Structure 1
Amino acid sequence: MAFEELGRDADRENSKGRDKLVGVYIAILAVILAICSLGGSNAQQDATQQNIAASNVWAFFQAKNARRQALRLHADEFEVMLKATPAMPDDARKSIEEKVASYKELDKSLTSDPKSGEGLDELFNKGKSLEADRDQSLQRGPYFDYGQALLQIAIVLASVAIISGGNLVLLASFFLGALGSAATLGGFTLAFPLPFAG
Protein backbone atom coordinates (compact mmCIF):
# COMPACT_ATOMS: atom_id res chain seq x y z
CA MET A 1 0.00 0.00 0.00
CA ALA A 2 2.77 2.38 0.86
CA PHE A 3 4.49 1.64 -2.47
CA GLU A 4 1.30 2.49 -4.36
CA GLU A 5 1.00 5.83 -2.58
CA LEU A 6 4.65 6.57 -3.19
CA GLY A 7 4.11 5.77 -6.89
CA ARG A 8 1.09 8.07 -7.05
CA ASP A 9 3.00 10.84 -5.29
CA ALA A 10 5.87 10.44 -7.75
CA ASP A 11 3.44 10.55 -10.70
CA ARG A 12 1.82 13.70 -9.29
CA GLU A 13 5.22 15.33 -8.82
CA ASN A 14 6.27 14.37 -12.35
CA SER A 15 2.99 15.71 -13.70
CA LYS A 16 3.43 18.98 -11.79
CA GLY A 17 6.99 19.32 -13.08
CA ARG A 18 5.86 18.61 -16.65
CA ASP A 19 3.00 21.09 -16.32
CA LYS A 20 5.40 23.77 -15.06
CA LEU A 21 7.70 23.21 -18.04
CA VAL A 22 4.73 23.34 -20.42
CA GLY A 23 3.60 26.54 -18.70
CA VAL A 24 7.03 28.10 -19.31
CA TYR A 25 6.87 26.90 -22.92
CA ILE A 26 3.44 28.57 -23.31
CA ALA A 27 4.85 31.80 -21.86
CA ILE A 28 7.70 31.72 -24.39
CA LEU A 29 5.21 31.16 -27.21
CA ALA A 30 3.14 34.09 -25.93
CA VAL A 31 6.20 36.37 -26.00
CA ILE A 32 7.04 35.28 -29.56
CA LEU A 33 3.37 35.83 -30.50
CA ALA A 34 3.49 39.37 -29.10
CA ILE A 35 6.67 40.11 -31.08
CA CYS A 36 5.08 38.61 -34.20
CA SER A 37 1.95 40.72 -33.73
CA LEU A 38 4.06 43.84 -33.29
CA GLY A 39 6.05 43.02 -36.43
CA GLY A 40 2.86 42.52 -38.44
CA SER A 41 1.40 45.79 -37.21
CA ASN A 42 4.61 47.68 -37.98
CA ALA A 43 4.86 46.13 -41.45
CA GLN A 44 1.31 47.26 -42.25
CA GLN A 45 1.94 50.78 -40.92
CA ASP A 46 5.21 51.04 -42.85
CA ALA A 47 3.51 49.91 -46.06
CA THR A 48 0.76 52.50 -45.60
CA GLN A 49 3.20 55.33 -44.83
CA GLN A 50 5.47 54.44 -47.75
CA ASN A 51 2.48 54.20 -50.07
CA ILE A 52 1.32 57.69 -49.04
CA ALA A 53 4.86 59.06 -49.43
CA ALA A 54 5.20 57.45 -52.88
CA SER A 55 1.83 58.89 -53.94
CA ASN A 56 2.93 62.36 -52.82
CA VAL A 57 6.21 62.06 -54.73
CA TRP A 58 4.41 60.91 -57.90
CA ALA A 59 1.90 63.77 -57.62
CA PHE A 60 4.80 66.24 -57.30
CA PHE A 61 6.54 64.51 -60.22
CA GLN A 62 3.44 64.87 -62.41
CA ALA A 63 3.02 68.55 -61.52
CA LYS A 64 6.67 69.29 -62.34
CA ASN A 65 6.44 67.28 -65.56
CA ALA A 66 3.35 69.24 -66.63
CA ARG A 67 5.20 72.49 -65.91
CA ARG A 68 8.22 71.32 -67.89
CA GLN A 69 6.01 70.37 -70.84
CA ALA A 70 4.33 73.80 -70.76
CA LEU A 71 7.77 75.49 -70.77
CA ARG A 72 8.89 73.37 -73.70
CA LEU A 73 5.76 74.28 -75.66
CA HIS A 74 6.29 78.01 -75.00
CA ALA A 75 9.97 77.78 -75.97
CA ASP A 76 9.03 75.94 -79.19
CA GLU A 77 6.40 78.59 -80.02
CA PHE A 78 8.91 81.40 -79.50
CA GLU A 79 11.53 79.62 -81.64
CA VAL A 80 8.97 79.15 -84.44
CA MET A 81 8.02 82.83 -84.11
CA LEU A 82 11.69 83.84 -84.47
CA LYS A 83 12.11 81.71 -87.60
CA ALA A 84 8.80 82.83 -89.10
CA THR A 85 9.51 86.53 -88.58
CA PRO A 86 13.03 87.28 -89.84
CA ALA A 87 12.26 91.01 -90.07
CA MET A 88 11.49 91.23 -86.34
CA PRO A 89 13.06 94.27 -84.64
CA ASP A 90 16.34 93.45 -82.88
CA ASP A 91 15.16 94.42 -79.40
CA ALA A 92 12.08 92.17 -79.70
CA ARG A 93 14.23 89.32 -81.12
CA LYS A 94 16.71 89.72 -78.25
CA SER A 95 13.90 89.70 -75.66
CA ILE A 96 12.38 86.54 -77.13
CA GLU A 97 15.79 84.79 -77.35
CA GLU A 98 16.43 85.62 -73.66
CA LYS A 99 13.03 84.25 -72.76
CA VAL A 100 13.73 81.03 -74.71
CA ALA A 101 17.12 80.70 -72.98
CA SER A 102 15.54 81.17 -69.53
CA TYR A 103 12.87 78.58 -70.38
CA LYS A 104 15.53 76.09 -71.46
CA GLU A 105 17.54 76.72 -68.28
CA LEU A 106 14.43 76.18 -66.17
CA ASP A 107 13.69 73.03 -68.20
CA LYS A 108 17.13 71.68 -67.24
CA SER A 109 16.59 72.38 -63.54
CA LEU A 110 13.15 70.79 -63.66
CA THR A 111 14.63 67.70 -65.30
CA SER A 112 17.51 67.28 -62.87
CA ASP A 113 18.31 69.21 -59.71
CA PRO A 114 20.67 67.19 -57.51
CA LYS A 115 21.13 70.12 -55.13
CA SER A 116 17.48 70.26 -54.03
CA GLY A 117 16.69 66.65 -54.95
CA GLU A 118 13.48 67.84 -56.58
CA GLY A 119 14.26 67.43 -60.27
CA LEU A 120 12.20 64.95 -62.25
CA ASP A 121 15.09 62.48 -62.37
CA GLU A 122 15.55 62.63 -58.59
CA LEU A 123 11.81 62.44 -57.93
CA PHE A 124 11.51 59.42 -60.22
CA ASN A 125 14.26 57.59 -58.32
CA LYS A 126 12.75 58.58 -54.96
CA GLY A 127 9.29 57.37 -56.02
CA LYS A 128 10.67 54.04 -57.22
CA SER A 129 12.62 53.62 -53.97
CA LEU A 130 9.53 54.31 -51.85
CA GLU A 131 7.53 51.83 -53.94
CA ALA A 132 10.24 49.19 -53.40
CA ASP A 133 10.17 49.83 -49.63
CA ARG A 134 6.36 49.61 -49.64
CA ASP A 135 6.46 46.35 -51.58
CA GLN A 136 8.97 44.90 -49.12
CA SER A 137 6.76 45.88 -46.18
CA LEU A 138 3.77 44.27 -47.89
CA GLN A 139 5.85 41.15 -48.49
CA ARG A 140 6.44 40.85 -44.73
CA GLY A 141 2.73 40.77 -43.89
CA PRO A 142 1.95 37.12 -44.77
CA TYR A 143 4.90 35.87 -42.70
CA PHE A 144 3.48 37.57 -39.63
CA ASP A 145 -0.08 36.44 -40.42
CA TYR A 146 0.95 32.79 -40.65
CA GLY A 147 3.27 33.16 -37.67
CA GLN A 148 0.46 34.50 -35.48
CA ALA A 149 -1.96 31.75 -36.52
CA LEU A 150 0.60 28.97 -35.95
CA LEU A 151 1.70 30.36 -32.59
CA GLN A 152 -1.89 30.73 -31.37
CA ILE A 153 -2.69 27.15 -32.35
CA ALA A 154 0.53 25.97 -30.67
CA ILE A 155 -0.51 27.74 -27.44
CA VAL A 156 -3.94 26.13 -27.54
CA LEU A 157 -2.45 22.67 -28.14
CA ALA A 158 0.04 23.15 -25.29
CA SER A 159 -2.83 24.15 -22.99
CA VAL A 160 -4.74 21.03 -24.04
CA ALA A 161 -1.60 18.98 -23.32
CA ILE A 162 -1.57 20.28 -19.73
CA ILE A 163 -5.20 19.31 -19.22
CA SER A 164 -5.07 15.96 -21.00
CA GLY A 165 -1.51 15.02 -20.15
CA GLY A 166 -1.08 13.88 -23.77
CA ASN A 167 2.41 13.98 -25.24
CA LEU A 168 1.27 13.70 -28.87
CA VAL A 169 -0.66 16.97 -28.57
CA LEU A 170 2.40 18.55 -26.98
CA LEU A 171 4.61 17.36 -29.86
CA ALA A 172 2.16 18.87 -32.35
CA SER A 173 2.35 22.11 -30.37
CA PHE A 174 6.18 22.05 -30.51
CA PHE A 175 6.05 21.54 -34.28
CA LEU A 176 3.57 24.37 -34.87
CA GLY A 177 5.40 26.61 -32.40
CA ALA A 178 8.65 26.07 -34.31
CA LEU A 179 6.91 26.86 -37.62
CA GLY A 180 5.32 29.98 -36.12
CA SER A 181 8.67 31.14 -34.73
CA ALA A 182 10.33 30.54 -38.09
CA ALA A 183 7.58 32.52 -39.86
CA THR A 184 8.06 35.36 -37.38
CA LEU A 185 11.81 35.37 -38.01
CA GLY A 186 11.13 35.27 -41.76
CA GLY A 187 8.86 38.29 -41.43
CA PHE A 188 11.64 40.35 -39.92
CA THR A 189 14.45 39.12 -42.17
CA LEU A 190 12.78 37.91 -45.40
CA ALA A 191 15.63 35.37 -45.33
CA PHE A 192 13.57 32.65 -46.99
CA PRO A 193 10.54 32.58 -49.29
CA LEU A 194 7.18 31.72 -47.83
CA PRO A 195 6.30 28.56 -49.77
CA PHE A 196 2.53 28.66 -49.26
CA ALA A 197 1.99 32.37 -49.92
CA GLY A 198 1.11 33.18 -53.53
Structure 2
Amino acid sequence: MSEHFEPPEGGNKKVALLIAVLALMLALAEIGGKQAENEAVAKNIEASNLWSFFQAKTIRSTTLSTAADAMEIDLAAATDAAMRERMQKRIDDWKKTVARYDSEPSTNEGRKELTVRAKAAEHERDNLKARNENFEIASGLLQIGIVVASASIITGVVILAFVGGGLGALALGFMGLAMFAPHLLF
Protein backbone atom coordinates (compact mmCIF):
# COMPACT_ATOMS: atom_id res chain seq x y z
CA MET A 1 0.00 0.00 0.00
CA SER A 2 1.62 3.25 -1.10
CA GLU A 3 0.74 6.58 0.34
CA HIS A 4 0.26 9.34 -2.15
CA PHE A 5 0.05 12.92 -0.97
CA GLU A 6 -2.30 15.15 -2.93
CA PRO A 7 -1.73 18.88 -2.53
CA PRO A 8 -4.78 20.96 -1.73
CA GLU A 9 -6.91 22.05 -4.67
CA GLY A 10 -5.11 24.81 -6.57
CA GLY A 11 -2.03 24.57 -4.31
CA ASN A 12 0.36 23.94 -7.19
CA LYS A 13 -1.10 26.86 -9.13
CA LYS A 14 -0.48 29.18 -6.20
CA VAL A 15 3.09 27.95 -5.83
CA ALA A 16 3.61 28.30 -9.60
CA LEU A 17 2.35 31.86 -9.35
CA LEU A 18 4.74 32.47 -6.44
CA ILE A 19 7.60 31.12 -8.54
CA ALA A 20 6.61 33.40 -11.43
CA VAL A 21 6.58 36.42 -9.11
CA LEU A 22 9.95 35.44 -7.65
CA ALA A 23 11.35 35.04 -11.18
CA LEU A 24 10.05 38.49 -12.13
CA MET A 25 11.64 39.97 -9.02
CA LEU A 26 14.88 38.13 -9.87
CA ALA A 27 14.90 39.69 -13.34
CA LEU A 28 14.38 43.15 -11.84
CA ALA A 29 17.12 42.60 -9.25
CA GLU A 30 19.53 41.45 -11.96
CA ILE A 31 18.72 44.49 -14.11
CA GLY A 32 19.14 46.83 -11.14
CA GLY A 33 22.42 45.21 -10.13
CA LYS A 34 23.85 45.31 -13.64
CA GLN A 35 22.84 48.95 -14.08
CA ALA A 36 24.43 49.89 -10.74
CA GLU A 37 27.57 47.95 -11.64
CA ASN A 38 27.88 49.68 -15.03
CA GLU A 39 27.30 53.11 -13.54
CA ALA A 40 29.84 52.42 -10.78
CA VAL A 41 32.46 51.56 -13.40
CA ALA A 42 31.65 54.77 -15.29
CA LYS A 43 31.94 56.85 -12.11
CA ASN A 44 35.23 55.15 -11.24
CA ILE A 45 36.59 56.08 -14.68
CA GLU A 46 35.31 59.64 -14.26
CA ALA A 47 37.00 59.97 -10.85
CA SER A 48 40.23 58.52 -12.24
CA ASN A 49 40.18 60.95 -15.16
CA LEU A 50 39.55 63.90 -12.85
CA TRP A 51 42.43 62.89 -10.56
CA SER A 52 44.69 62.54 -13.62
CA PHE A 53 43.70 66.03 -14.73
CA PHE A 54 44.39 67.26 -11.18
CA GLN A 55 47.87 65.70 -11.32
CA ALA A 56 48.56 67.29 -14.70
CA LYS A 57 47.55 70.70 -13.33
CA THR A 58 49.81 70.12 -10.32
CA ILE A 59 52.78 69.26 -12.53
CA ARG A 60 52.18 72.32 -14.74
CA SER A 61 51.79 74.52 -11.67
CA THR A 62 55.00 73.22 -10.10
CA THR A 63 56.90 73.71 -13.36
CA LEU A 64 55.70 77.30 -13.73
CA SER A 65 56.34 78.09 -10.05
CA THR A 66 59.87 76.76 -10.36
CA ALA A 67 60.44 78.76 -13.55
CA ALA A 68 59.08 81.93 -11.89
CA ASP A 69 61.34 81.38 -8.85
CA ALA A 70 64.38 80.89 -11.09
CA MET A 71 63.55 83.98 -13.15
CA GLU A 72 63.12 86.05 -9.96
CA ILE A 73 66.72 85.17 -9.09
CA ASP A 74 67.80 86.23 -12.60
CA LEU A 75 65.70 89.40 -12.28
CA ALA A 76 67.62 90.43 -9.17
CA ALA A 77 70.86 90.27 -11.16
CA ALA A 78 69.53 92.00 -14.31
CA THR A 79 70.57 95.61 -14.85
CA ASP A 80 68.87 96.45 -18.16
CA ALA A 81 65.51 98.13 -17.43
CA ALA A 82 63.79 96.74 -20.56
CA MET A 83 65.04 93.25 -19.73
CA ARG A 84 63.87 93.61 -16.12
CA GLU A 85 60.42 94.73 -17.31
CA ARG A 86 60.07 91.74 -19.68
CA MET A 87 61.23 89.36 -16.98
CA GLN A 88 58.83 90.82 -14.42
CA LYS A 89 55.94 90.56 -16.92
CA ARG A 90 56.82 86.92 -17.59
CA ILE A 91 57.00 86.18 -13.83
CA ASP A 92 53.63 87.88 -13.25
CA ASP A 93 52.04 85.92 -16.12
CA TRP A 94 53.38 82.64 -14.77
CA LYS A 95 52.10 83.43 -11.27
CA LYS A 96 48.65 84.26 -12.68
CA THR A 97 48.65 80.97 -14.54
CA VAL A 98 49.67 79.11 -11.37
CA ALA A 99 46.79 80.80 -9.51
CA ARG A 100 44.40 79.84 -12.34
CA TYR A 101 45.60 76.23 -12.20
CA ASP A 102 44.86 76.24 -8.47
CA SER A 103 41.31 77.59 -8.80
CA GLU A 104 39.34 78.30 -11.93
CA PRO A 105 35.63 78.55 -11.06
CA SER A 106 34.66 79.78 -14.52
CA THR A 107 35.63 76.45 -16.13
CA ASN A 108 35.40 74.26 -13.01
CA GLU A 109 38.84 72.92 -13.92
CA GLY A 110 41.15 74.35 -11.28
CA ARG A 111 42.80 71.97 -8.84
CA LYS A 112 40.34 72.91 -6.08
CA GLU A 113 37.34 72.36 -8.36
CA LEU A 114 38.79 69.12 -9.74
CA THR A 115 39.24 67.81 -6.19
CA VAL A 116 35.57 68.48 -5.39
CA ARG A 117 34.42 66.89 -8.65
CA ALA A 118 36.65 63.81 -8.22
CA LYS A 119 35.48 63.27 -4.64
CA ALA A 120 31.85 63.60 -5.74
CA ALA A 121 32.41 60.98 -8.47
CA GLU A 122 34.05 58.67 -5.92
CA HIS A 123 31.08 59.14 -3.56
CA GLU A 124 28.61 58.30 -6.35
CA ARG A 125 30.75 55.28 -7.31
CA ASP A 126 30.67 54.03 -3.71
CA ASN A 127 26.90 54.45 -3.52
CA LEU A 128 26.47 52.52 -6.76
CA LYS A 129 28.77 49.74 -5.54
CA ALA A 130 26.71 49.42 -2.34
CA ARG A 131 23.52 49.42 -4.41
CA ASN A 132 24.94 46.61 -6.54
CA GLU A 133 25.84 44.59 -3.42
CA ASN A 134 22.25 44.82 -2.16
CA PHE A 135 20.89 43.77 -5.55
CA GLU A 136 23.33 40.84 -5.62
CA ILE A 137 22.08 39.62 -2.23
CA ALA A 138 18.49 40.02 -3.39
CA SER A 139 19.27 38.01 -6.53
CA GLY A 140 20.78 35.19 -4.49
CA LEU A 141 17.83 35.09 -2.11
CA LEU A 142 15.39 35.02 -5.03
CA GLN A 143 17.26 32.18 -6.72
CA ILE A 144 17.13 30.17 -3.52
CA GLY A 145 13.47 31.10 -3.05
CA ILE A 146 12.62 29.82 -6.53
CA VAL A 147 14.40 26.52 -5.86
CA VAL A 148 12.72 26.07 -2.48
CA ALA A 149 9.28 26.96 -3.85
CA SER A 150 9.82 24.54 -6.74
CA ALA A 151 10.74 21.84 -4.26
CA SER A 152 7.39 22.35 -2.53
CA ILE A 153 5.59 21.33 -5.74
CA ILE A 154 7.71 18.19 -6.10
CA THR A 155 7.59 17.16 -2.44
CA GLY A 156 4.16 18.46 -1.52
CA VAL A 157 5.66 20.08 1.60
CA VAL A 158 3.71 23.33 1.83
CA ILE A 159 6.12 24.93 4.32
CA LEU A 160 8.73 25.08 1.54
CA ALA A 161 6.43 27.41 -0.42
CA PHE A 162 6.20 29.68 2.62
CA VAL A 163 9.98 29.63 2.99
CA GLY A 164 10.32 30.54 -0.70
CA GLY A 165 7.86 33.39 -0.24
CA GLY A 166 9.71 34.55 2.88
CA LEU A 167 13.00 34.60 0.96
CA GLY A 168 11.22 36.65 -1.72
CA ALA A 169 10.03 39.13 0.91
CA LEU A 170 13.56 39.37 2.32
CA ALA A 171 14.90 39.91 -1.20
CA LEU A 172 12.34 42.67 -1.72
CA GLY A 173 13.76 44.31 1.42
CA PHE A 174 17.27 44.20 -0.03
CA MET A 175 15.98 45.64 -3.30
CA GLY A 176 14.44 48.49 -1.31
CA LEU A 177 17.74 49.05 0.46
CA ALA A 178 19.51 49.09 -2.90
CA MET A 179 17.24 51.85 -4.12
CA PHE A 180 16.78 54.00 -1.03
CA ALA A 181 19.51 53.24 1.55
CA PRO A 182 22.38 51.38 -0.14
CA HIS A 183 24.85 52.08 2.71
CA LEU A 184 22.61 50.91 5.53
CA LEU A 185 24.36 47.52 5.57
CA PHE A 186 27.50 48.21 3.50
Alpha carbons 2:149, 2:161 under 8 Å: kept: yes
Aligned residues: 182
1:120 and 2:111 aligned: yes
Provide the residue aligned with 2:142 in structure 1: 151
2:78 matches 1:95: no
Q: CA deviation at 1:139?
A: 1.4
Counterpart in the other structure of 2:54: 61
Following superposition of structure 1 onto structure 2, how do residues 118-197 of structure 1 map, counting pairs within 5 Å?
Answer: 118-190=109-181, 193-194=184-185
User: 1:30-41, aligned counterparts within 5 Å?
Assistant: 30-41=23-34
Question: How far apart are 1:62 and its partner, in Å?
Answer: 0.5
d(CA) in 1 for partners of 2:183, 2:82: 70
CA offsets, 1:7-32, max 9 Å, x none? xxxx97x7342222221111111111
Cα shift at 1:193: 2.3
Matches within 5 A, 1:2-41: 15-41=8-34
Aligned partners of 2:130 and 2:183 also within 8 Å: no
TM-score using structure 1 length = 0.85
Q: Which amino acid aligns with 2:142?
A: L
1:47 Cα deviation from its structure 2 partner:
1.2
AA aligned to 1:64 is K
Whichever residue aligns with residue 91 of structure 2, its letter is V
Residue 78 (1) aligns with residue 92 (2): no
Distance in 1, matches of 2:47 and 2:152, equals 49
Could you tell me the TM-score, scaled by structure 2's length? 0.91
What is the CA distance between 1:120 and its match in structure 2?
Answer: 0.9
- CA distance in structure 2 between the aligned counterparts of 1:135 and 1:67, rounded to whole angstroms: 30
User: In 1, are the aligned partners of 2:131 and 2:182 still within 8 Å (CA)?
Assistant: no
* Structure 2 contact 130–182 (Cα < 8 Å) conserved: no
4+ long deviations beyond 6 Å: none
Could you report, residue by residue, the CA deviation over 1:90-143 in whole angstroms, capped at 9, with x for unpaired residues? 000000010011111111111111111111111111111111111111112221
The residue identity in structure 1 corresponding to 2:135 is F
Q: Deviations over 1:41-100 (max 9, x none)?
A: 1111111111111111111111111001111111111112222x1x61100000001001
Shift of 1:179: 1.0
1:110 equivalent in structure 2: 101
1:52 corresponds in structure 2 to: 45
Query: How far 1:185 moved relative to its partner?
Result: 1.6
Look up the SS of the partner of 2:179 in the other structure. helix
Q: Distance in 2 between matches of 1:111 and 1:158?
A: 61
Q: Is the 8 A contact 2:127 2:182 kept in 1?
A: no
Deviation of the 1:172 alpha carbon: 1.3
Structure with greater Cα Rg: 1
Amino acid corresponding to residue 146 of structure 2 in structure 1: I
Please state whether the residue corresponding to 1:101 is helix, strand or coil.
helix
